[in-house]
A and B are shown apart, each in its own frame.
Chain A
Amino acid sequence: QVQLQQWGAGLLKPSETLSLTCAVDGGSFSGFFWTWIRQSPGKGLEWIAEVSHTGSVSYNPSLRGRVAFSSDTSKNHFSLELTSLTAADTAVYYCRGGWTSQGLDWWGQGTLVTVSS
Chain B
Amino acid sequence: IVMMQSPVTLSVSPGEGATLSCRASHSVNDNLAWYQQKPGQPPRLVIYGASTRATGIPARFTGSGSGTNFILTISGLQSEDSAVYYCLQYNFLPGTFGGGTKVEIK
A residues adjacent to B (C-beta < 8 A) = 35, 44-47, 50, 58-61, 94, 96, 100-103, 105, 107-110
Please state if B90 and A101 are interface contacts (CB–CB under 8 Å).
yes
Please report B residues at the A interface, Cβ cutoff 8 Å.
31, 33, 42-45, 48-49, 52, 54-55, 86, 88, 90, 93-100
Q: Are B45 and A103 in contact (CB under 8 A)?
A: yes
How far is A42 from B81 in the complex, measured between Cα atoms in Å? 24
Apart from A100-B31, A103-B55, A110-B42, what are 9 other A-B pairs with CB-CB below 8 Å? A35-B95, A47-B94, A47-B95, A61-B94, A102-B48, A103-B48, A105-B48, A107-B42, A108-B42
Looking at the assembled complex, report how far the CB atom of A97 sits from the nearest CB atom of chain B, in whole angstroms.
12
State the Cβ distance, B94 to closest chain A Cβ, in Å: 4
Most buried by A among B31, B44, B96: B96
- B98 contact set on A, CB distance < 8 A: 44
What residues of B have a CB within 8 angstroms of the CB of A108 in the complex?
Answer: 42
- The 5 lowest CB-CB distance pairs between A and B, nearest first, are A107-B42, A105-B45, A45-B97, A47-B95, A60-B94
